[in-house]
Structure 1
């Protein structure tokens, strides 16, 4: 009974901690929803109300009619999807090569990938702008795609290299005996086994690009090229902040991230449980 009581106590304590953490995470989201459903006057009511007395969806309607958020979302989805796919392609190949081959300068190459992550983004802003300007790509989707993949490829390559190292090299050797080339071995044998790692890498790359603000603000100029974070930031005016419009736009901006996570969830779970059971 003592052991059973101790286990029950540990479970109860664990659930209590999880409930507290979940509430802490959900409170800002619930307040965003509450603000988005309030009228312009009720936002500044004192004391603040969690449940609006007059629930209205006018803010959700305004972000599509009064602001070009449809265009912002299209730009974000296009840029972030393209940068994520390109980043996955190159990081998978780089990670596979680094995990399977020994070559001169390998350690220096991997160290260089890590060093690129040590510089603050603000320090890279002017060099990136000058390069993009020289290439004539200011105010284009290509500029944002090039910028985002330069941010994500180094770290994604390290992530994929670590996952490829967990896949036995004997599979490559067996495939080589059967006459498979290196490339065929990669995309027919190794890559399907690495889908959990690819899912985690895709989520990281997508979130990094979707939430990026500073470079998108500097490298885009026209309204037809701006992304969602820029559109939300523009709701802060010189004399007035549209809090309900901002909260409604932020809630809608969360939806793509949630869908991406739900889509890759099963691969993430298999990644977390990989190796948990000894064969």
Structure 2
């Protein structure tokens, strides 16, 4: 009995040690980012660097709005990412519901194809996407980026929604149809409200893909007023000078929408983590 307790205590201590290291790996860079954002230009170049600025200042936060077209970058990202997220949720929900409720020829091949598309690195798709968008005149436009982000997110989001819809008993569909509901009405009024955790998880996943994407936004958009936030932050890294405090301030502001999104959808997102854990 004593040996079992010692093993259990050693296991707990090991897990706490691993979690402490993992938390430090995440929190230390975050703390350094926040600390640098509140430093003046002189304090940024001090050696050895200080963890806590001697004279905290908001100059960096003021400069990124005043000296750079940061507002344009921010609004462009919001427009592109929100539009792609909404469209992704609509189509992935419809595709996931159809795959969970109907049998059709090639269903397994279709679902496998969606997974296979996630196996290739995105850089392999850069030239094909560029050629397709150029054919349709969508290069250097926000609609082009929206199409790209939708194409990236829909395969995985469809599988996510498929899993949630499969956890909803089909008897609910049958009962609704007996009461006179059409298939679409059953989907909208009965199934979708029950799948809110899945929709929240899908929305967060799609939003993260678009909000943090840099490479395609950098290549496909060249007009300064159409660039997104990651590209704008990257441009703070100049040829001859890197304004670290401005870059860190911009990074903090760019992370705020993700924090707000998670706070508002936290209840549904946490529910999605345990969905399907208990067999109905």
Query: TM-score range with shorter-chain normalisation?
Result: over 0.9
Shift of 1:254: 0.4
Q: Which is worse superposed, 101-110 or 38-47?
A: 38-47
Q: 1:164 to 1:277 in 2, by over 3 A?
A: closer
1:266 matched to 2:267? The reply is yes
Point out where structure 2 has 5 or more consecutive residues left out of the alignment. Answer: none
1:239 aligned residue: 240
Point out where structure 1 has 5 or more consecutive residues left out of the alignment. Answer: none
- Secondary structure at the aligned position of 2:138 is classed as coil
Give the CA RMSD over aligned residues.
2.0
CA distance in 1, matches of 2:10, 2:131: 60
Determine if contact 2:167/2:276 at 8 Å carries over to the other structure: no
2:48 aligned residue: 47
CA distance in 1, matches of 2:39, 2:63: 13
2:23 aligned residue: 22
Shift of 1:162: 1.0
1:128 aligned residue: 129
Shift of 1:271: 2.0
Give per-residue Cα distances to partners, 1:120-144, cap 9 Å, x unaligned: 2111111111111111122211111
2:181 aligned residue: 180
Q: How many residues align?
A: 279
CA distance in 2, matches of 1:111, 1:204: 20
CA distance in 2, matches of 1:110, 1:270: 25
CA distance in 1, matches of 2:183, 2:207: 29
Q: Which is worse superposed, 147-156 or 119-128?
A: 119-128
2:200 aligned residue: 199
1:61 aligned residue: 62
Shift of 1:21: 2.8
1:147 matched to 2:148? The reply is yes
CA distance in 2, matches of 1:140, 1:278: 47
1:164 matched to 2:165? The reply is yes
Shift of 1:44: 2.1
Shift of 1:34: 0.9
CA distance in 2, matches of 1:110, 1:77: 30
Determine if contact 2:100/2:165 at 8 Å carries over to the other structure: yes
CA distance in 2, matches of 1:141, 1:277: 43
Task: Output the TM-score relative to the length of structure 2.
Answer: 0.93
